[in-house]
Amino acid sequence: MVREFKLPDVGEGVSEGEIVGWLVEEGDEVSEDQAVAEVETDKAIVEVPSPVDGTVREILAEAGEVVPVGNVIITFNVEGEEDEPAEAEPADSEASEASDDEAEPADAEETSTGEGRVFAAPSARRLARELGVDIAAVEGSGPSGRVTEQDVQAAAESGDEGGQETPAAEQESEFEPAELTEPEDGSGSSGGPAPSAASSADRDKTLAAPATRRIADEQGVDLNAVPATEQRDGEAFVTPEAVMEYAEAQQAAQQADAAGVAGASAGERVERIPYRGVRKTIGDAMSNSKFTAPHVTHQDTAVVDSLVETRERLKPKGEERGIRLTYMPFVMKAVVAALKQHPKLNAELDEEAGEILRKNFYHIGIATATDAGLMVPVVDDVDGKGLLQISSEVNELVQKARDRSISMEELQGSTFTVTNFGAIGGEYATPILNYPEAAILGIGELKQRPVVEDGEVVARYTLPISLSIDHRIVDGADAASFANTFMEYVENPELLLLE
């Protein structure tokens, strides 16, 4: 039988994922739970396992493609089971391609036609659908007359589609109108040569194969600005070759502008980076936090010579156990001690229920800078762990976040967050809440600074702090009291032994 596999919901609130890469190829044998693909969600990179023992029949999503949860991304041939009935889907949906596959025989190399069987590779059949080529009319050049991708491409380029037009029903299922966008300059293009009269000036929609639309997206080209290759049912139809020619013309114009060639079209020299995945999630979360909770930031400075001395004494003990002891465990223990005395900051507001949720557990998030953006690994139950255990867990979680091997569970459930921007440099900031938490503590750079003691200026190790709060449920006085308690613990770290 043919078993379809849809992109699963790999984490809470995840609606789509980007295919980072395939770990298998068409024709490979796989076993149940074997990883077949790596998918990047808005949280992390996860491996997607095969649901069956079988053979990879067809891969339906390419590396780099963003796929909504629930879309079919791969199919398998499974022996000893009957084919699942195809689900009825709208004719104008790309998902109908999967239904077309189910109607085909289980043999991944054969397609039934009115005149017999056509031997074709799965990739060739998919390309034929995308290009609107009647694969039954394509002469195969492979072994035993097998139709290859090159045969399909040659048929499409020659315009020979079997001497018959694609039925209207097929056109509706295989081609979708490109989205219409309003260009900023009214020209219908973001730069480069102006489109011809047959391109986008008066188009209501543009017909293009999914592969063509994907190429346009990768090249940053507005499909409606590409000159139409032909007309189908009165609508403009654009081929991949036309998109590439247009993109090359744009690039040439931009290069000419960069070289100062007279008369060349002016173009912005910018790099276009997709705003999606972790980066978009960070942006959405920051916007939601900033525009939902009224922020107030309280700033102060702790004198921490005793903390520096204590850490220096304990570092060798950690090294004996293979653990690098940083200042972060001291900060986290001091945070928990202060939260126990000021529980208003270990809370969140449930607006829908009209309730403030004060939490009697202490899961501390550690804001971590990674190549993909800011991630917040969570150390659970910090109040019940020692300094070396906390240090070990923080070091491990931060590394996992940076190499994108961290799990969804390790990024969820924090009640309070610490962000150490001082590791990069700087004294004070205005941290944005890790919403819906009520507070976040920012730590500046720990170093020697001038301090006045008994009328004398002396050098002391100081730790600047920036505490942001949700002013709906935490008052400024509460923030100041929490900060004072926190500073008392980091200035006198032996007090942590009493907790």
Q: The tokens 């969570």 sit on which residue?
A: 378
DSSP state of 234: T
Phi-psi region of 235 (alpha: psi -120 to 50; beta: other; left: phi over 0): beta
Strand partners, 358: 347
Would residue 471 show up in a list of annotated catalytic residues for this protein?
A: yes
Burial of 357 (0-12, 13-18, 19+ CB in 10 A): middle
Q: How far apart, in whole angstroms, are the C-alpha atoms of residue 20 and residue 48?
A: 11
CA dihedral 366→371→374→379, nearest 10 degrees, is -20
Among the listed residues 295, 298, 363, 471, the single catalytic one is: 471
Burial of 369 (0-12, 13-18, 19+ CB in 10 A): middle
The rounded Cα 74 to chain-centroid distance in angstroms is 20
Count other C-beta atoms under 10 Å from residue 352's C-beta. Answer: 6
71, 95 Cβ separation under 8 angstroms: yes
Burial of 292 (0-12, 13-18, 19+ CB in 10 A): middle
Q: The tokens 């525009």 sit on which residue?
A: 291
Q: How far apart, in whole angstroms, are the C-alpha atoms of residue 191 and residue 214?
A: 19
Phi-psi region of 163 (alpha: psi -120 to 50; beta: other; left: phi over 0): left
Q: Is 45 helix (H, G, I), strand (E, B) or coil?
A: strand
Q: How far apart, in whole angstroms, are the C-alpha atoms of residue 155 and residue 144?
A: 19
Count other C-beta atoms under 10 Å from residue 323's C-beta. Answer: 19
Q: How far apart, in whole angstroms, are the C-alpha atoms of residue 494 and residue 333?
A: 11
Burial of 101 (0-12, 13-18, 19+ CB in 10 A): buried
**So which residues are the catalytic ones?**
471
